[in-house]
A and B are shown apart, each in its own frame.
Chain A
């Protein structure tokens, strides 16, 4: 489960002064649920997810992830989280097998356990063909699959996806979407950030619209449509994020 409580993150910029990248964001995601964080570029999605993954520390507020506080026990949180983003790359000089096993070791798994889990992931994600190929030689789709296996090797209870389909072709993006659904099916708590309306419509149980660091609206797709009186997700988003914008 994820529970964010007034999560706030400010940065200092020499030119622009204090920037509130995330401003008092609160939400709750239950196991077996996909929470979609929808926002334009620079809305605060990545910062929110980095806070939940304990890559950044909140300036104010906090969150509980899989039963642990992100400020008090960041290492325990990370041990229960799988974080996948376009910015989380693979080590080019390691093979896919070495990459996945490395993260197994970092997560404190024993060698025998890593072997078993790697075999299972290779079967599930169809990695066998390129498991012993260096990551730098893999295609984008193969890299994505390896990244997914990397996030799953320690079987985390919570999955955080930060725009995972960005820059991918249709087939690779579909594979990701399928995988996210699969995570939900396995009872994992999933948070998924994107600026693509179609993905939100397809995947998410609850949608949070974030803009200027603030969570402006939250609800199911039906609730948001009802509140804005719009059917098209893009129109829903525009009405919430920029109400002054002409339709």
Chain B
């Protein structure tokens, strides 16, 4: 192995790639411009849609309650929702989103309230539909207030204090520092983003530098040189790794800048971020410990090596860029699956999961960002990922020495 040759190959690949519009697109333009714009726009659109849904006064249908004038009058006067008269097709109307919910008042409800024998109020809604959910929340709040008023009145009638039903209060107090709250809130999302960016940044150069060269006939030219094949493959590998890390790094910096600038400019960057920021006690941007970010980046490094080697190995087998794309497409799902599992609530790091590549990173990053440093797991994950990356790289070098792969026609 000669570092001079590796650097020569790497230097040429870097120069070549920086002149390639498609590589620039995947390495710089998409991470710097497209990804932040996409995330920011999605956040804006989502928060606007949420705000609009929140502002809308839900239309609620009143079912029954003819013998309970007090309750029906209170419902009709409530500013929380707009009550419409009963109709037989209320189920269809809810499904068609003409009304958001319906509330059924049982027979003799007013009398039952006075005697303490009122039957259950039924709220009919469309589960999973945001506006229907808001309507349910408002109806719930109305009946909670009615229940409290009824109890207070009953207690007062018997000369008892209202505090009898609530003899003490419960108050929550947060002890977690803001950056840990921030880390917990977005801890799952950040590793997901980093892993996907690492992967996507490596895909195009991995194809171009292997199958692309085969297709264009430049690989045979390169193989004519006295440079050892291991040096050629390492020079190319470092270029793919550079692209992967560049895509990730630039995207993160760009997104952080976008959120900060947008936060300063508008005072809010959408409810999601606002909520997190409020929780974290910070500004528009959720606070994350810089040490946590550094830890995550260090853990990501062997995964980037793993991706770069793996993608190169698979793409090298292909005869053309088209064939390589066909091979690499399913790999994106293979990567996505463990990342998605890592996002699921309740999935926690243990010794077995610490050995599952990608999933282990997703889980440990979540912990690191929330300020939990399980050093034994961190060492195990870093070590095992380094081992996987080493194996993938060794296999890629081996593949590069196979004639049937290099001269596959």
A227 interface residue, CB < 8 Å from B?
Answer: no
B217 interface residue, CB < 8 Å from A?
Answer: yes
Which of A87-95, A176-184, A194-202, A214-222 forms part of the interface with chain B? A87-95
Which of B137-145, B219-227, B346-354 forms part of the interface with chain A? B219-227
- Determine the chain A residues whose CB is within 8 A of the CB of B222 once the complex forms: 106
A65 interface residue, CB < 8 Å from B?
Answer: no
Other-chain contact of A76, B9, B12, B20, B226 (Cβ < 8 Å)? B226
Distance between Cα atoms of A11 and B226 in the complex (Å): 24
The interface centre, meaning the residue of A105, A106, A108 with most chain B CB atoms within 10 A of its CB, is: A106
- Determine the chain A residues whose CB is within 8 A of the CB of B19 once the complex forms: 93
Distance between Cα atoms of A75 and B224 in the complex (Å): 9
Known: A88-B217, A93-B16. A78 touches B224 (CB 8 A): yes
Known: A55-B223, A57-B403. A89 touches B228 (CB 8 A): no
Flag if B224 contacts A94 (CB, 8 Å): no
Write the chain A residue with the least CB distance to B20: A93
- Determine the chain A residues whose CB is within 8 A of the CB of B403 once the complex forms: 55-57
Known: A57-B403, A93-B16, A93-B20. A108 touches B217 (CB 8 A): no
Known: A56-B407, A94-B12. A81 touches B218 (CB 8 A): no
A102 interface residue, CB < 8 Å from B?
Answer: yes
Write the chain B residue with the least CB distance to A12: B404
B15 interface residue, CB < 8 Å from A?
Answer: yes
A103 interface residue, CB < 8 Å from B?
Answer: yes
- Determine the chain B residues whose CB is within 8 A of the CB of A3 once the complex forms: none
Distance between Cα atoms of A50 and B409 in the complex (Å): 15
Write the chain A residue with the least CB distance to B221: A88
Flag if A79 contacts B226 (CB, 8 Å): yes
A107 interface residue, CB < 8 Å from B?
Answer: yes
Residues 6-62 (chain A) with a chain B CB within 8 angstroms: 11, 50, 53, 55-57
Q: Shortest distance in angstroms between A110's beta carbon and chain B's nearest beta carbon?
A: 11
- Determine the chain B residues whose CB is within 8 A of the CB of A53 once the complex forms: 224
Write the chain A residue with the least CB distance to B19: A93
Flag if A94 contacts B15 (CB, 8 Å): yes
Distance between Cα atoms of A230 and B357 in the complex (Å): 70
Distance between Cα atoms of A222 and B5 in the complex (Å): 47
Other-chain contact of B5, A78, A87, A106 (Cβ < 8 Å)? A106
A98 interface residue, CB < 8 Å from B?
Answer: yes
Flag if B217 contacts A81 (CB, 8 Å): no
Flag if A55 contacts B220 (CB, 8 Å): yes
Write the chain B residue with the least CB distance to A150: B221
Known: A93-B16, A98-B15. A85 touches B220 (CB 8 A): yes
B37 interface residue, CB < 8 Å from A?
Answer: no
- Determine the chain A residues whose CB is within 8 A of the CB of B5 once the complex forms: 106
17 additional contacts, CB 8 Å, given A75-B227, A93-B20? Answer: A55-B407, A56-B407, A75-B226, A76-B226, A78-B224, A87-B217, A88-B224, A89-B218, A90-B221, A92-B216, A94-B16, A105-B8, A106-B222, A107-B225, A107-B226, A108-B226, A150-B221
14 A-B pairs with CB atoms under 8 Å apart are A55-B223, A76-B226, A78-B224, A85-B220, A87-B217, A88-B220, A88-B221, A89-B220, A89-B221, A91-B218, A93-B19, A94-B12, A105-B8, A106-B5
In the A-B complex, the 5 residue pairs with the closest CB atoms: A89-B217, A79-B226, A106-B225, A78-B226, A88-B221
